[in-house]
Structure 1
Amino acid sequence: MSAEATSRPFVVSDRNLALELVRVTEAAALASSHWTGRGQKNDADGAAVEAMRVAFDTVAIDGTVVIGEGEMDEAPMLYIGEKVGAGGPPMDIAVDPLEGTNLCAKDMPNAITVVALAEHGNFLHAPDVYMDKIIVGAGLPDDLIDLDAPVGENLRNLAKARGKDVGEIVLCALDRERHAELIAKTREAGARVRLISDGDVAAGIAACLETATVDIYAGSGGAPEGVLAAAAVRCMHGQMQARLLFEDKAQRARAIKMNPGKEPDRKLGLHDLAAGDVLFSATGVTTGFLLQGIKRRTHHAITHSLVMRSKSGTLRFVEGHHNFNTKTWSAR
């Protein structure tokens, strides 16, 4: 192998690395699925975290968690700054071991496990605050959407670009009181609204899928989830804009500390959130508009996952068949 080839660590191993990430999200999904419908969201999340952390020990990276379960003193595992992996190229990791803990606890749609990977410095270091977001899919004119434009204008531009009537456009948002005006203005423009209780990473991805019944995702949700959604949108060549939202001066100061030299209130483009070559994997825990949930039987289970890479734009839907006789940790 030439010296030039060995100097590009992320190019040599990234194809295998993408498939290794699937094993990480599968492990978390299998572990959390034991708690589906049991009403114990913390137990479900804890099982996902533990399984994901163990699975990372087999991945050939020198990984640092930059989007995780919180600070070291708040989260015992997968905290921001934690080192994971079996050794290899340095990578930044964004994780949500169980996105939609309430969804899993109540056996509602769209609970997923999520991991994204990028070279060091390519993910926004997002504090645990709200983030305003707008997302559409691929194949559209550049800069079609604008976070600061009225929602009706964005909907009309999207409908025109898609060759649809505005009445055929479906906007997805979290069902929250803070979105009352967004919902009213969307309906006033003639578009439809699909409300979800949780799980805005899955919803943001769905807005980029041609097979989904969602055309645009908008509204505010968690900033860490926004970075994860951006990683997926990068892989799907969609469009996204965002802005951090602060409830007090302490939150704003935290954002400045995490991203020195950057204006915390600036409008963020897709590459501000997730740059470079990005890998993304998600596994369904409960069936939703993105993935099938886990089908558990006494001695085996079937998982459905989505794995993507921004460089190639390839999306792979992976069906895994797991034998609990050999994966004893997932059969608790």
Structure 2
Amino acid sequence: MNIEANGIRLAVEDSGGAGEPVLLIMGLGGQLIHWPADFVQGLVDAGYRVLRFDNRDAGLSTHFSAHGAPRIPWIATQAWLGRRPRVPYTLSDMARDALGVLDALGIARAHVVGLSMGAMIAQRVTLLAPERVRSLTSIMGSSGARGLMRPRQSVLRVAAGKPSTADDAVLARYYVRFLKAVASPAFPPDDAALSDVFRRTALRQKPSTGATYRQLAAILADGERAALLARIQRPTLVVHGADDPWVPPACGRDTARRIPGARFALIPDMAHDLAPVAHPEIVRRTLGELLPFLQSTPDAAA
């Protein structure tokens, strides 16, 4: 379904049911279809109402193409110097989109679960409207503190090779290379599965470099969030892969350290690969941390 929220259109999927709602917030360039089906089903089977949506500039939600592609090196430099670079929109804007999803569905409070960039948005949701958050789960995310996010050089080299062409075959080869570069060495993804997820993604909405850069600009410009995390008073779980080469485990540890009472769960053999193609064992281990946490906080907002 499509809803209107925060002045834009957002594509939403709602599992329905009478269970406590869990709002899932996807990461950089991702679409709601990139949440693994067995991860979503695991939450549904546990009795939760699962809400997924496309962030702005992703999938079938509103795209901000008129803003063009931001100059990422300039924005990164300004952010590193502690300045406030002008960007098309901020993570706080994206957090208001997430709250708009809850508003449109008439949901007062939800467990908020974010993945990678979505984890950073989830942190912003909790800072903006703590009364709407039953619990916060930050998966493969970061506090945004300067100097933390240092991906491995091998992964940066692959990421830097993104082609400018719109040719599906060329783009598919790039995304397969990148997703393999950030995946678990112990549970490597199958090439056929990676190619299939790209095919399904392109059929729904082709990836856009400009859109990804606009989301990345919002991440880079959010340098003040780290100092604000101490204000969070909601039950918090921070989940990170022990083998994450894109957002290193130190980012997860730092996030958990900054949020009072947060619990940190380091998942063995997990990399930056819970989405879009996750090995069943990675999903099982993540749910093994997430479900007990959610079940321990049903009345947290009372």
TM interval, short-chain normalised? under 0.3
Choose between structure 1 and 2 for higher RCO, CA contacts under 8 A separated by at least 6 residues: 2
Give 1 or 2: higher strand fraction: 1
Structure index of larger Rg: 1
TM-score between both structures, scaled by the size of structure 1: 0.24
